[in-house]
Amino acid sequence: MSKFSRFSRLNPQPITRGIRASALIAATFQAYNAARLREGAELFCRKMLPRNGTVGVSLTGALTPAGLGKSCLIPLIKAGFIDWIITTGANLYHDIHYGLDMKLYRGSPFLDDVQLREKHIIRIYDILFDYRVLLDTDAFIRQVIAGPEFQRPLGTDEFHYLLGKYVHAREKKLGLKDTSLISVAYQYGVPLFTSSPGDSSIGMNVAAMAMAGNKLQFDVNRDVNQTAAIVYNAKRTGHTSSVFILGGGSPKNFMLQTEPQIQEVLGLDEKGHDYFLQITDARPDTGGLSGATPAEAVSWGKVDPNKLPDAVVCYVDSTIALPLITAFALDNIKPRQPKRLMAVRDKLLARVQADYEKSPYYKKFLDR
């Protein structure tokens, strides 16, 4: 047996005109972070998506204002490739601009920001839009959350589901179709959680409305238990639980903490997520979670140690990696039936609640 028998020969063919993005990845992404991206795309398609596995996506960084919601995340949801999402409130806030047909522009990172301020132009690196976009989006959110169905505590998934209903209605009125992530998540029953609901313009408007007597409150306890219930149900029904992490930060931790919540806090038998794919530009040696490796996550019970070989970290900008992985997946995998987890959220939570009440951890808690 050759000492290289378990390795593939590195012998790419020349790139030709008209090559598809998926073929480019498979044929020419041979080494370094290009190879990690290819391995990540193959992991997503060959192990995370098959056999009706549950796929959760976390995303940080200003991806939706850059159009990644419309170009990548919406097609993945419509193909049944994303089952639930944790993101920042900022990503959902800027996503709403698209659903309201507001204009964002490709600009430059080298403009004079003092002049931009004088002209009432907002800059997100090289994305530009008018200050009125913020004011009009704020007004839309305040008008929506003044409605009677919002006058109660809501998990962020239910809050975004209801908000998405109104964004979808506005899209239809404007003659738009599938321009907003929050709208498409509503249509396909994909839960959208925010790990820090007060940390965005959406949360700011909710806080301001509370000062005016609005009764909306975010039920963060429900979010913690509901996200754990999604993972717990996947594992207890014989399916896999996979995490696809774009960036890091609080959404990454909120997605990965589902397993410690199940094991460490609720005392239920579990081993960790099955598959781990992360796109990041953060280093692990600074101690931040954004750069923490899946091997480190094993020590917390977040990732199944037996599945560690099926973990890929690709050090590249999400705005580069996500379109390529999306193209690879859509070319190689047939669409799946959407799980529509929003429709069964109460049932999933009731299951983990019932099993927790049978655990010794629950009895110890009551005996205190």
Q: Active-site residue 302, yes or no? A: yes
3-state secondary structure of 19: coil
Please, what sign has the CA dihedral across residues 270, 271, 275, 281? positive
Q: Give CA separation, 185 vs 115, 126, 179, 190, in Å.
A: 38, 27, 11, 5
Q: Give CA separation, 55 vs 116, 149, 239, in Å.
A: 41, 29, 10
Supply 272's token pair. 């960790």
302, 334, 339, 347: the catalytic one is: 302
The CA distance from 74 to 181, in Å, is: 6
The CA distance from 162 to 356, in Å, is: 29
For residue 45, the 8-state DSSP code is I
Q: Give CA separation, 6 vs 3, 19, 211, 306, in Å.
A: 8, 28, 64, 20
Cβ-Cβ contacts under 8 Å for 73 (sequence gap 6 or more): 57, 59, 63, 82, 85, 181, 322
3-state secondary structure of 9: coil
3-state secondary structure of 300: coil
Q: 340-354: buried (b, 16+ CB within 10 Å) or exposed (e) per residue?
A: ebbebbeebbebbee
User: Nearest Cα to 73, choosing from 365, 354, 322?
Assistant: 322
The CA distance from 92 to 175, in Å, is: 21
Query: Annotated catalytic sites, by residue?
Result: 302
